[in-house]
Amino acid sequence: MSGGLDGPAPEERPTPDGRRNSQGIRIDPEAEAEPEARRVVLSALVKHEPGVLASVSGLFRRRQFNIESLTVGPTTDQDRARITLEIEEPDPGIEQAKKQLQKLVPVIAVTELEPDAIRRELALIKVDGSAPDQVGAVAEMYDGKTVDVSQESVTVEITGSEQKIDAAIETFGRFGIHEIVRTGTAALERGTRRTT
C-alpha cells in the first residue's frame, strides 16, 4: 500500500524513561503498584423526581463502577430524596464516582461518609418451622425478632451492620433457610456531623 512519510524510524527515536499506571498516575517503573480498592458509602441528596434513580443506576452501570448496594428513600423535605450507595473502588475510582454523580443535574450534593458512620441493613430470614423456640433464641442473640410464624416456617427480622447480618444468616443456616431478603445499606454520619 502506498503513503508514507520521511523521518527516523520508531526504534531510532529517543525513548523517555517514565511510565504511568492504568489510572494515569506517574509511577516509578521499578515499583509498579496498582492502588487497592476501598469500600465506601456515598450519600447523594437528589431532587425527588421521576428518572433520578434510573440516571444514577445507569451512570454506575455505564461507567462500570463496582456497586455493592443502593437504597433510596424520602427525606424530611418532600422535594428531596436520599440515595445511599456502597461502592468498592480504588481511590481514583471513588473520586470519579463522586464527581460523575455530582455532575448529574438533579443531584444536589454528594458526600463520602466517614469510615465510622452509622450503617444499617435489614434482613428478613424465613427458616424451617420445625424448631420455633430455638429460632427465637437465635433471633434474640442478634437483637432480632420473630415477625411471622406458620406451621412450616418462622420469619425473623434482623437489622444491623452487614457483618452482623452475614453472621446471623450463617447461624440460621442450621435450621434450613427457605428464603431471605436484604435491603441495601442505609447510613448517616455520627454525632453532629451532617451527612450532606
Partner 1 sequence: MSERTTKQRETDADESTEADASDASPTTVTSGATSTVRALENAGIEVMFGVQGGAIMPVYDALWGSDIDHVMMAHEQGAAHAADAYNVVSGQPGVCLATSGPGATNLVTGIADANMDSDAVVALTGQVPQTMVGSDAFQETDTTGITAPITKNNYFASDADTVGDTVGEAVALAGSGRPGPTLVDLPKDVTNDETDREPGMPQTPETYTPQDEADEAAVDRAAAAIETAERPLLLFGGGVVKAEASEAARSFATGYEIPVVTTMPGIGTMPEDHDLCLSWAGMHGTGYANMAINHTDLLIAVGTRFDDRLTGGIETFAPEADVVHVDIDPAEISKNIHADYPLIGDAGRVLEQLDDAISTAPNAEAWREQCRTWKVEYPMDYAAPDDEPLKPQFVVEALDEATSDEAIVTSGVGQHQMWASQYWTFREPRKWISSHGLGTMGYGLPAAIGARLAADPDEEVVCIDGDGSFLMTVQELSVAVREDLDITVAILNNEYIGMVRQWQDAFFEGRHMAAGYSWIPEFDKLAEAFGARGWRVDDYDEVADAVEEALAYDGPSVIDFHIDPAENVYPMVPSGGANDKFALSEEQL
Give me the residues that bind partner 1 (CB under 8 A), please.
1-10, 13-26, 47, 50-51, 54-55, 58-59, 62, 92, 95-96, 99-100, 102-108
| Residue 163, CA atoms < 13 Å, CB-side half-sphere | 1
Q: From the CB of 116, what's the least distance to partner 1, in Å? A: 27
**The three three-digit cell numbers of residue 40, written as one number:** 465506601
Minimum CB separation of residue 133 from partner 1 in Å reads 49
Exposure b/e, 52-72, CB count within 10 A at least 16 = b: beeebeebbeeeebebebbbb
195/113 Cα distance (integer angstroms): 7
- DSSP collapsed to 3 states, 23-39: CCCEECCCCCCCCCEEE
| CB closer to partner 1 out of 55 and 159 | 55
Shorter beta-carbon distance to partner 1: residue 63 or 145: 63
Closest to partner 1 by CB, 49 vs 170, is 49
Cβ 73 to partner 1, closest distance in Å? 20
Nearest of 152, 142, 176, 23 to residue 89 by alpha carbon: 23
Q: Judged by CB, which is closer to partner 1: 8, or 191?
A: 8
Nearer to partner 1, 1 or 76 (CB): 1
Place of cell 446471623: 168
Minimum distance from CB of 101 to partner 1 (Å)?
A: 9
**Minimum CB separation from partner 1 for residue 124, in Å?**
31
